[in-house]
């Protein structure tokens, strides 16, 4: 019997098939499983899908940790902690503290196994993966929660890696805001999509990664203070400035513009026309969500699913925002959910926007892949967030409907179309985070009381600090 068949959402055959793909995805180093390849499909056109991606492994880790299989996660954490960007062979290596998008095990000239990491120097998007180190921190914390092993985070190489990452992510930049300024395509969306600047998905991961860091370090560690202060400022900024609902849109539509000084009604200098018509229709009735991106004169109102869902499970979203987000998801269910997963972004970039912002990317054509494609892997963050707001039924219904369809289609990476009905034109099959998401989501939804190793409880001290935090760039007139 499969350890994941505890969930009644999956029939035995489905969970066995999913488990078989997950196990087959195992990547070995010196006889130990240290990760999972992104896809098991045997086609020659798999490119880098035979590598272990750090972000993809988070979903495998969730599936393994939920059924008590902790060793593979520990091996992964140690393997990634041992990698350094100066091994990448780039003329200008990225700073230590960046973790790779992916790695693979190869044999050197002497026949010895060695790990080769990709920091973006080989990837098609050629961009540094800002999200990897944040995912790594979250995986380490989840491992600690699930196994009770607090020793790993204290061991030499792992402790050093935590410190490197936190120091790097807290380093002052060319920046006036508490959010991270990042290049386009530096997270799950790893090709040009116009998501440079301060994209929500990365800001929420930054928040979550810093929260994990705080739990992993001793209380009196010298980084604990700076991490806590950044969390307070970031929490305030994301909750107040990114949030969109009908009330907020009405305020933005009446903003004065071109104000000078420090006491402003419209510190972002947003022009009312920054709100596209579809948003007015979307937000007129119910609900709200965190905008996709924000900086002066730049409000991207696209809906980014991963950031919004993780905001709920990592405690960034206030209880009111979390409720409103699920109201929105339920209200726009046909736009966002289908029996194959959830839209990664909404709506699609079309016409001239697609042409300019994606660089006319043929893989990111409208309603495909990152450009409003439907991703089964999002069932995992959906399940995790739904539990927090007591809407497990919604997620359970979607997972129960999706699982047999995904199994029938051989576990595709993504689906195409405004309603996610067609297998993605260039989708891989036997995609590991597709099977892992179904397994992990099903276990989470089976027992809403069972611990979710990736979720965060409310932290009163942090809540107080957020409430007391001042806006950084400017003072607002409220």
- Map the footprint of ligand GLC across residues 161-200, applying CB under 6 A: 188, 190
Spatial separation of the C-alpha atoms in residues 396 and 64, rounded to whole Å? 20
Q: How far is CA 118 from CA 100, 102, 185, 465, 467, in A?
A: 5, 5, 15, 38, 40
CB-closest chain residue to ligand GLC: 38
Cβ closest to ligand GLC, residue 152 vs residue 377: 377
Q: How far is the CB of 125 from ligand GLC (least distance, A)?
A: 8
| Residue with token string 């990634």 | 80
| Residue with token string 């409310």 | 458
| Residue with token string 């009446």 | 254
Backbone CA torsion sign across 15, 16, 21, 26? positive
Cβ closest to ligand GLC, residue 48 vs residue 87: 48
Q: How far is the CB of 205 from ligand GLC (least distance, A)?
A: 13
**CB 455 within 8 Å of CB 314:** yes
Q: Which of 10, 25, 38, 249 binds ligand GLC (CB under 6 A)?
A: 38
Q: How far is the CB of 248 from ligand GLC (least distance, A)?
A: 30
* Site string (42-81) toward ligand GLC, x via CB under 6 A: -----------x-xx-------------------------
Q: How far is the CB of 361 from ligand GLC (least distance, A)?
A: 12
Strand order in the sheet with 337-338: 337-338, 341-343, 374-375, 415-416, 422-423
**CB 85 within 8 Å of CB 119:** yes
Size of the site for ligand GLC (CB under 6 A): 6
Spatial separation of the C-alpha atoms in residues 330 and 114, rounded to whole Å? 48
Cβ closest to ligand GLC, residue 392 vs residue 431: 431
Cβ closest to ligand GLC, residue 268 vs residue 303: 303
Cβ closest to ligand GLC, residue 7 vs residue 340: 340
Q: How far is the CB of 87 from ligand GLC (least distance, A)?
A: 21
Q: How far is the CB of 188 from ligand GLC (least distance, A)?
A: 4
Q: Which two tokens stand for residue 244?
A: 């969109």
Spatial separation of the C-alpha atoms in residues 95 and 97, rounded to whole Å? 6
* Site string (432-451) toward ligand GLC, x via CB under 6 A: --------------------
Cβ closest to ligand GLC, residue 377 vs residue 385: 377
Q: How far is the CB of 431 from ligand GLC (least distance, A)?
A: 7
Q: How far is the CB of 241 from ligand GLC (least distance, A)?
A: 26
Cβ closest to ligand GLC, residue 53 vs residue 304: 53
Q: What DSSP line would sit under 351-400, residue for residue?
A: HHHHHHHTTS-STT-TTBTTBT-EEGGGHHHHHHHHHHTT-HHHHHHHHH
Q: How far is the CB of 59 from ligand GLC (least distance, A)?
A: 10
Cβ closest to ligand GLC, residue 56 vs residue 446: 56
Pairing of strands 341-343, 303-304: unpaired
Q: Is 32 helix (H, G, I), strand (E, B) or coil?
A: strand
Interaction between residue 201 and ligand GLC (CB under 6 A): no
**CB 201 within 8 Å of CB 188:** yes
Cβ closest to ligand GLC, residue 282 vs residue 414: 414
Give me the residues that bind ligand GLC (CB under 6 A), please. Answer: 38, 53, 55-56, 188, 190
């Amino acid at each position: 019997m499969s350890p994941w068949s505890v969930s009644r959402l999956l029939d035995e055959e489905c969970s066995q098939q999913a488990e078989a793909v997950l196990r087959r995805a195992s990547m070995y180093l010196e006889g130990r499983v240290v990760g999972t390849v992104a896809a098991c499909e045997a086609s020659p056109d798999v490119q880098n899908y035979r590598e272990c991606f750090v972000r993809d492994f988070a979903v495998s880790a969730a599936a393994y940790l939920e059924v008590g299989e902790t060793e593979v996660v520990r091996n992964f954490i140690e393997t990634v902690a041992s990698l350094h960007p100066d091994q990448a062979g780039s003329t200008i290596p990225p700073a230590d503290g960046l973790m790779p998008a992916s790695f693979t095990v190869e044999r050197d000239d002497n026949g010895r196994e060695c790990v080769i990491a990709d920091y973006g120097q080989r990837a098609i998007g050629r961009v540094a993966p800002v999200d990897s180190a944040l995912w790594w921190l979250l995986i380490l914390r989840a491992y600690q929660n699930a196994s009770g092993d607090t020793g790993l985070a204290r061991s030499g190489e792992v402790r050093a890696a935590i410190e490197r990452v936190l120091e790097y992510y807290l380093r002052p930049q060319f920046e006036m805001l508490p959010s991270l300024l990042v290049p386009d395509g530096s997270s799950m969306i790893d090709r040009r999509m116009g998501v440079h600047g301060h994209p929500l998905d990365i800001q929420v991961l930054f928040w979550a990664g810093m929260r994990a860091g705080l739990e992993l370090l001793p209380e009196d560690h010298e980084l604990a203070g700076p991490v806590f202060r950044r969390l307070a400022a970031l929490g305030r900024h994301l909750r107040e400035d990114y949030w969109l609902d009908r009330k907020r849109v009405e305020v933005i539509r009446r903003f004065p513009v071109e104000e000078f000084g420090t006491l402003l009604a419209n510190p972002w200098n947003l022009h009312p026309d920054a709100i596209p018509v579809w948003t007015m229709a979307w937000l007129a009735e119910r609900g709200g969500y965190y905008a996709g991106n924000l900086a002066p004169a730049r409000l991207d109102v696209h809906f980014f699913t991963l950031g919004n869902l993780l905001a709920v499970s990592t405690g960034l979203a206030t209880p009111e925002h979390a409720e409103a987000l699920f109201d929105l998801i339920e209200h726009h269910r046909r736009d966002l959910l289908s029996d194959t997963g959830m839209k990664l972004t909404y709506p699609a970039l079309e016409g001239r926007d697609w042409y300019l912002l994606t660089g006319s990317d043929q893989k990111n054509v409208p309603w495909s892949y990152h450009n409003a494609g439907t991703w089964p892997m999002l069932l995992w963050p959906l399940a995790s967030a739904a539990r927090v707001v007591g809407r497990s039924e919604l997620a359970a219904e979607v997972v129960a409907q999706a699982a047999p369809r995904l199994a029938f289609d051989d576990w595709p990476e993504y689906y195409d179309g405004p309603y996610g009905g067609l297998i993605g034109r260039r989708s891989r099959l036997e995609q590991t985070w597709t099977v892992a998401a179904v397994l992990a989501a099903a276990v989470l939804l089976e027992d809403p009381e069972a611990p979710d190793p990736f979720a965060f409880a409310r932290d009163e001290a942090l809540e107080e600090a957020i409430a007391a935090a001042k806006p950084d760039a400017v003072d607002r007139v409220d």
